Amino acid sequence: DEYCIESIRAECVDFVKKLPPTVDRVLQAHTFGMKDHLNFCVQQLLENGQKDWGPCLEDSELVKILFAQSTDFNNELRNRLKRGHVHTGGILQDTHRMECGKCKNEPPPQRDILGGATTRHVWQCQRCKYSR
């Protein structure tokens, strides 16, 4: 900035914004004060399931940002599920609903625990008696 090279800086920022979000990009955006791009990258990485934030954890201010956005992201996920996520396959979480594959009825699941932490959900539709 002291050498009046704002146009070069703007070009670099535009280039960086075109790169895919990564943990290194988060660190870079934080280091150079690119708050909007930092927030964008963190949001994208959270949505993609990023778990290892590596070098970002060495900066306490960045950790605060990551924590705040992670909390907001988890709250948003929880709210989406409370509004009625219909579960059609995979793992059934406590806040999911199941739907009958035949008649679209939503029976409450009956849960069986099998072998340690593995939970298997077994239910039968009360309307058409379809079992899953």
Model confidence pLDDT, tens digit, residues 66-118: 999 999 998 888 776 665 555 555 555 555 555 666 666 554 444 433 444 44
Contact 125, 102 (CB under 8 A): yes
